[in-house]
Amino acid sequence: MERGIAKFVGQGDAILFSSGFGANAGLLRAILGKNDIAYIDSYIHTSATSGLIGTNVKHIGHNDIDYLDMILERETGKYQTRLVIIDGVYSQNGDLSKLPQYIAVCKKHNCLLMMDDAHGIGVMGENGRGTAEYYNCLGQVDIITGTFSKSFGCVGGFVAASEKLIQYLRYYADSNVFSAAMTPQVAASSLKALELIQTQPEIRKKLWTNVNYLRKRLTEEGFDIGCSISAIFPIMVRDNKKVYEIARELQKRCIFVSGITYPAVRTKEARLRVSVLASHETVQLEQLVTALVEIRKSIPF
Ligand SMILES: Cc1ncc(COP(=O)(O)O)c(C=O)c1O
């Protein structure tokens, strides 16, 4: 599984964890200390920020390459390891990182780049190899992490990087060394999912047909879906209470949509979060749109 996932995402080696959360947190606790710094996009996942307690942290806004370039220039020589942390696909807004620009800026300033591709792997790129494949940048990101809890339909996580870094993590990533490994059943399921992702591209094709259809329909009906270009659709409501009311109304109509409120996002960014699957049929996507239009009449959003 480790060899398979490393090859798939274009890295030298990989190490498995029993969750994606453990992969991000364990990796970062192992490689960054008080003389190092993490430059983080404001929308990275909590699993990454939770690994940064013992190191220096600087927020670099969202996809703000010019600011990153400026700050890396200004802080040259101030820290030992400098690591920029981004997501491939952002988990709440469904938008993409500007990966090629990040690669260029990190190279220019001799800084490492880590990309959490939890929502990119299996979905992005011609062969589902993730955001790096989508941008034709395979092999150019220092560290890629991910989870098996999204497109793989299982649980577990991984860090993929150079053989040397992975060897280091086999000794120092606490959430791997001091926690139970994923069970054989889960490893076998994840391995099967990896095989299906590689051998059945029609599943991914269907997913993208669904994504494009739903984006078009939600936009036509005037819903605010932000900058989403992936299978994650935020439908902005901007009111915590209304989010739960709408989610409940949808559930009454047999549609499961997560409500995302504070503290996952700021209160004024409260939203419904729709995740589109390859197994959805057009008629189901239409049911969602019709239900939202109907609910909007009694709960304006
Ligand atoms: C971007 C991102 N990274 C990491 C994780 C953690 O993955 P897991 O659910 O396997 O712990 C998630 C999911 O919840 C996520 O959305």
Residues 6+ apart with CB under 8 A from 16: 1, 2, 5, 156, 157, 158, 176, 181, 182, 187
Distance 45 CA to ligand 1 centre (A): 7
- Ligand 1 contacts CB of residue 243 (under 6 A): no
Distance 221 CA to ligand 1 centre (A): 31
- The whole-angstrom separation of Cα 125 and Cα 18 is 26
Q: What value does the mean pLDDT take over residues 276-297?
A: 97
**pLDDT 10s digits, 141-173:** 999 999 999 999 999 999 999 999 999 999 999
Nearest Cα residue to atom 10 of ligand 1? 20
**pLDDT 10s digits, 31-77:** 999 999 999 999 999 999 999 999 999 999 999 999 999 999 999 99
pLDDT-derived band at 264 (thresholds 50, 70, 90) equals confident
- The whole-angstrom separation of Cα 76 and Cα 82 is 9
Ligand 1 site-directed mutation target among 149, 182, 258, 273, most atoms within 8 Å of CB: 149
- Ligand 1 contacts CB of residue 45 (under 6 A): yes
* Residue 212, both tokens: 């494009």
Q: In terms of DSSP bridges, do strands 157-161 and 37-40 run parallel, antiparallel, or are they unpaired? A: unpaired
CA 30 distance to own-chain centroid? 21
Q: What value does the mean pLDDT take over residues 291-301?
A: 95
Q: What value does the mean pLDDT take over residues 288-293?
A: 98
Q: What value does the mean pLDDT take over residues 177-199?
A: 96
Q: DSSP letter for 230, please.
A: S
Distance 149 CA to ligand 1 centre (A): 7
- Ligand 1 contacts CB of residue 97 (under 6 A): no
- Ligand 1 contacts CB of residue 157 (under 6 A): yes
Q: What is the pLDDT of residue 92?
A: 87
The answer for 156, left when phi > 0, alpha when psi is -120 to 50, beta otherwise, is left
Nearest Cα residue to atom 16 of ligand 1? 91
Place of tokens 């400026």: 70
- The whole-angstrom separation of Cα 210 and Cα 17 is 31
Helices (H) and strands (E) in the chain, counts: 12, 10
- The whole-angstrom separation of Cα 27 and Cα 17 is 10
- Please tell me the pTM assigned to this model: 0.95
Place of tokens 């057009």: 282
Exposed e or buried b per residue across 229-268, where buried means at least 16 C-beta atoms within 10 angstroms of its C-beta:
bbbbbbbbbebbebbebbbebbeeeeeebebbbeeebeee
What phi and psi values does residue 281 have, to the nearest 5 degrees?
A: -105, 155
Determine contact, residues 90/45, Cβ cutoff 8 Å.
no
Q: Which residues are catalytic?
A: 91, 119, 150
**pLDDT 10s digits, 192-245:** 999 999 999 999 999 999 999 999 999 999 999 999 989 999 999 999 999 999
* Residue 152, both tokens: 């793989």
List Cα–Cα distances, 23 to 48, 107, 122, 146, 256, in angstroms.
Answer: 9, 24, 18, 8, 28
Ligand 1 site-directed mutation target among 17, 18, 42, 47, most atoms within 8 Å of CB: 47
- The whole-angstrom separation of Cα 108 and Cα 68 is 11
Question: Is the pLDDT assigned to residue 290 strictly greater than 90?
Answer: yes
The count of other CB atoms within 10 Å of the CB of residue 156 is 25
Q: In terms of DSSP bridges, do strands 13-17 and 157-161 run parallel, antiparallel, or are they unpaired? A: antiparallel
Q: What is the pLDDT of residue 158?
A: 98
* Residue 299, both tokens: 């709960």
Mean pLDDT, rounded, of the chain: 96
* Residue 166, both tokens: 């992975």
- The whole-angstrom separation of Cα 62 and Cα 87 is 10
Residues in the chain, how many? Answer: 301
- The whole-angstrom separation of Cα 179 and Cα 149 is 18
Q: What is the pLDDT of residue 143?
A: 98
Place of tokens 């997501």: 87
Q: What is the pLDDT of residue 217?
A: 97
